[in-house]
Amino acid sequence: MRKLLTAAGLTSSAVALGVLLASPAAAWTASSQFDVVFPGQKPQTTYFVENTGAHTTSNGNMTGKSVVYWQLGVDQVIDASKRFTSFKITTRVEARLGKTAEDEVVTKKTCDMTAVLNDHYAWSYDSPENTCVAPSATYDGELWWSSDATIVYDIEGDGKGAITQELPGTALIHG
């Protein structure tokens, strides 16, 4: 019985040491914001986006996530009609061979947020409805990694068609 407890104690100590020595996850975030002016009496709205790229050493993956928040530019809503015909964000995990080389898209995901944006005048917390996560990719420390996003939206009733908003990417992750 004593040998069994000693073996269990040594095993759990080795696991604990491995956890202590494991590198923590590395994450970088790039924030951006832009205003949208709607036709008629719809309130101007400011949109905030946080793009995050993360390397999690415990599972060897690189992930990319974009979270969209928004708030009214004025306190009062006069026109409560539909604001967007379409609002989609594409989140990308990208890699490059060198620090100054061109990015190559490794994974990406496009998320349609039209309904949640039309149904809510403001949103300030993280939830699945305002978050877009690109599929993870196996991390290679020889490459330079980042995450970025593009939003394409069409304002209801403005007659201008789709507008593309390129968002800044995260800092490069390497090593």
Which CATH number goes with the domain that contains 86?
A: 2.60.40
Q: Which domain holds residue 140?
A: 24-174
For residue range 67-112, list pLDDT tens digits in order. 999 999 887 778 888 999 999 999 999 999 999 999 999 999 999 9
With respect to residue 59, please indicate whether it lies within any of the assigned structural domains: yes
* Other Cβ atoms closer than 10 A to 171: 14
With respect to residue 15, please indicate whether it lies within any of the assigned structural domains: no
Task: Indicate the number of domains in the chain.
Answer: 1
Contact (CB, 8 A) for 101 and 86: no
With respect to residue 9, please indicate whether it lies within any of the assigned structural domains: no
With respect to residue 14, please indicate whether it lies within any of the assigned structural domains: no
Report the residue count for the chain: 175
Q: Give dist(CA 45, CA 37) in Å, integer.
A: 7
Q: Is the pLDDT of residue 54 over 80?
A: yes
Q: Give dist(CA 82, CA 61) in Å, integer.
A: 39
With respect to residue 11, please indicate whether it lies within any of the assigned structural domains: no
Which of the residue ranges 14-23, 124-133, 144-153, 163-172 would you say has the lowest mean pLDDT?
14-23
With respect to residue 12, please indicate whether it lies within any of the assigned structural domains: no
With respect to residue 66, please indicate whether it lies within any of the assigned structural domains: yes
Across the chain, the runs of DSSP E, i.e. the strands, are 26-36, 45-56, 61-72, 84-96, 104-112, 131-138, 144-155, 162-167, 173-174
What stretch of H or E contains 59? none
With respect to residue 49, please indicate whether it lies within any of the assigned structural domains: yes
pTM of the predicted model as reported, rounded to 2 decimal places: 0.82
